[in-house]
C-alpha cells in the first residue's frame, strides 16, 4: 500500500501552528481524518473511542490558554504526537500491548509526556507496541506493504509517522526497537544516548538499556523534538524552548565515517550489504572520508553478554506481574522471562563487567582510527513478509549495548520496493553532533534520485 503524507514535515507543521497560519483545531481534524482513513489498514494506534472529541477539546483549551502572541508559543504548539503504549500519559490507559488489566499498569505520567505537553504538543493517542516492548508483535502493518512487518517493538510509532497520521511519535529502544522500525517504514528514527531522557513513567523492559526515542520524516524534525526532550540540549539557536535550526547544518565540517568491518557487519543480508556499499560510495563521492575499522571480532560473545543482562532484567521487571498474571502473557514474552529467571546474579554481574569492557574497546577503536561516526546498515534487509515477527535487531545490538546515540536515515529501496535504512552512530553524549552530521548525510542520500542509494 502506498501512502501519501497527511501531515507536513514536523518543522513546517510546528512553524505553521506557532505562527497562527494554522490552528490546533484544524491540525486535530486533519489528524483524526487521516487516522480514520488509514489506520483500519495499518493499525498503528491503539483503538480509542472518542479520540476526536478528546483531541478537539484539548486543542480548543490550548488555543484559549494562549499565549496570543506567536512569539510566545512553545516549540510544538498544537502538534499531534503519537506515544508508544508503554509510556504513561494522563487520560489514556496504558496496556503495553498486553492482556493485563490496565489499572495494574497505571501510574504517574511519563516525564517525556510532561515535556511534550509543556512544549504545546497534543497526544494524538497511544501507538501499538510489541507486548511489553519485548518481541511478541502487535497488530500493526507496514504502511508500504501491509503484508510485511513494520518492525518492533515501536511498531505503531514508526508506522504512524510513515503513514502520515502524525508528524512525530515517541518510541523506545532496548536493543533495536527504534532503529529497525525506522528502516522498515522509511522514516527517520533517533535513539539518544542512554540516560539523556528520564524513564520515569515508562514500563521497563531492561533498565540497563531502555532508551526513549522518536520518529519524524526528516532529520530537521527529529532535531526539533530533541530540543525539547533531551536533557541539556546544546544544539540549535535560540535555546531549548524555541529552537531555530541552523539553515546550513552539517556543513561546518564533515565527520570521518567508520565502517565496522568483521563479524558484526557480516550479519547483514546480501541486499542490505549491496545497498550499504552504494551508500558508502555516494558519501565518498560527496567528500566524506570513510575508513574501515576492524572491530568486534568476538561479536557472538557480545550478543550473549547483552542477552544475559537483558533477559535477567526483563524477568526482574516483571516478577510481580508475572507471578499474578503469568497466564495472560504471550508465548514470546513468557519465554524471555523464563530465560531471565534461570540467570543467576553471578552471571549477570559478569555480563555487566564484560559490557563495560566492550564499551571501552569500541570507544578506543573509534579513537584509534580517527573516526567521528560509525556507519552501518540499520537492519539486516528490508521488512520481512511475516507478521509473526518484528525482524532481527542484530544490526542495532552493539550500539544499544554501549548506550550510544544512533539514528536511521531512509536510504533507498530494496528490489521489492520496501525501504532500506542507513544507521549512523556517534560517541556517548554526542547527540547534537550526530543530528548535525545526519543532516548533511541525509542531503547526500536524498540527492541520489530523490530515493537515496538503491532508489528504484
Distance CA 160, CA 77 (A): 20
Compute the distance between CA of residue 96 and CA of residue 80 in angstroms, rounded to an integer.
21
Closest CA to 112 of 76, 72, 83, 151: 83
**The one catalytic residue among 153, 227, 408, 454:** 153
Q: Which three cell numbers stand for residue 225?
A: 523534538
The yes-or-no answer on residue 393 being catalytic is: no
Determine which one of 155, 177, 227, 408 is catalytic: 177
> What does DSSP assign to residue 160?
H
As a whole number of Å, the end-to-end CA separation of the chain is 16
177 among known catalytic residues:
yes
In three-state secondary structure terms, 31 is: helix
Do residues 134 and 314 make contact, with C-beta atoms less than 8 angstroms apart? yes
Is 126 a catalytic site residue?
no
SS3 content of the chain, % helix, strand, coil (to 5): 40, 15, 45
Tell me how far apart the alpha carbons of residues 277 and 290 are, in angstroms, rounded to a whole number: 11
Cβ distance 227 to 116 under 8 Å? no
Q: DSSP 3-state assignment of 275?
A: helix
Beta-carbon contacts of residue 308 (< 8 Å; ≥ 6 apart): 343, 347, 348, 351
- Taken as a whole, the chain contains a residue count of 456
- Which bin fits 323, alpha (ψ -120 to 50), beta or left (φ > 0)? alpha
| Helix (H) / strand (E) containing 376 | strand 373-377
Active site residues: 84, 153, 177
Amino acid at each position: 500500500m502506498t501512502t501519501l503524507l497527511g501531515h507536513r514535515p514536523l518543522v513546517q507543521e510546528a512553524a505553521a501552528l506557532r505562527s497562527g497560519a494554522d490552528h490546533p483545531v484544524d491540525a486535530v481534524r486533519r489528524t483524526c481524518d487521516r487516522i480514520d482513513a488509514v489506520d483500519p489498514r495499518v493499525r498503528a494506534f491503539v483503538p480509542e473511542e472518542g479520540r476526536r472529541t478528546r483531541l478537539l477539546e484539548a486543542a480548543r483549551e490550548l488555543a484559549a490558554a494562549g499565549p496570543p502572541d506567536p512569539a510566545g508559543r512553545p516549540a510544538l504548539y498544537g502538534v499531534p504526537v503519537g506515544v508508544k503504549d508503554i509510556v504513561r500519559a494522563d487520560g489514556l490507559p496504558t496496556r503495553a500491548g498486553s492482556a493485563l488489566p490496565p489499572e495494574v499498569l497505571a501510574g504517574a505520567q511519563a516525564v517525556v509526556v510532561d515535556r511534550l505537553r509543556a512544549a504545546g504538543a497534543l497526544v494524538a493517542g497511544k501507538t501499538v507496541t510489541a507486548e511489553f516492548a519485548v518481541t511478541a508483535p502487535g497488530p500493526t502493518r507496514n504502511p508500504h506493504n501491509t503484508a510485511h512487518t513494520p518492525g518492533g517493538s515501536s511498531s505503531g510509532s514508526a508506522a504512524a509517522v510513515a503513514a502520515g497520521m502524525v508528524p512525530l511519535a515517541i518510541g523506545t529502544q532496548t536493543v533495536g526497537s527504534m532503529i529497525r522500525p525506522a528502516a522498515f517504514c522509511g522514516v527517520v528514527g533517533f535513539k539518544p544516548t542512554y540516560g539523556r531522557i528520564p524513564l520515569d513513567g515508562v514500563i521497563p523492559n531492561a533498565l540497563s538499556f531502555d532508551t526513549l526515542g522518536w520518529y519524524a520524516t526528516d532529520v530537521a524534525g527529529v532535531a526539533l523534538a530533541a530540543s525539547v526532550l533531551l536533557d541539556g540540549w546544546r544544539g540549535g539557536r535560540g535555546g531549548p524552548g524555541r529552537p531555530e535550526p541552523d539553515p546550513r547544518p552539517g556543513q561546518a565540517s564533515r565527520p570521518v565515517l567508520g565502517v565496522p568491518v568483521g563479524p558484526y557487519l557480516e550479519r547483514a543480508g546480501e541486499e542490505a550489504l549491496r545497498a550499504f556499499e552504494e551508500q558508502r560510495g555516494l558519501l565518498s563521492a560527496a567528500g566524506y572520508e570513510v575508513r574501515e575499522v576492524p572491530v568486534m571480532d568476538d561479536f557472538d560473545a557480545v550478543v550473549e553478554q547483552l542477552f544475559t543482562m537483558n533477559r535477567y532484567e526483563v524477568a526482574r521487571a516483571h516478577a510481580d506481574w508475572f507471578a499474578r498474571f503469568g497466564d495472560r502473557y504471550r508465548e514470546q514474552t513468557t519465554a524471555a522471562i523464563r530465560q531471565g529467571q534461570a540467570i543467576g546474579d553471578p552471571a549477570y554481574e559478569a555480563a555487566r563487567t564484560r559490557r563495560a569492557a566492550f564499551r571501552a574497546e569500541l570507544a578506543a577503536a573509534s579513537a584509534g582510527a580517527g573516526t567521528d561516526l560509525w556507519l552501518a546498515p540499520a537492519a539486516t534487509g528490508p521488512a520481512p513478509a511475516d507478521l509473526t515477527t518484528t525482524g532481527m535487531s542484530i544490526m542495532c545490538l552493539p550500539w544499544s549495548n554501549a548506550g550510544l546515540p544512533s539514528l536511521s536515515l531512509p536510504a533507498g529501496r530494496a528490489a521489492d520496493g520496501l525501504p532500506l535504512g542507513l544507521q549512523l552512530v556517534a560517541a556517548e553524549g554526542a547527540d547534537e553532533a550526530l543530528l548535525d552530521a545526519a543532516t548533511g548525510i541525509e542531503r547526500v542520500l536524498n540527492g541520489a534520485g530523490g530515493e537515496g542509494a538503491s532508489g528504484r
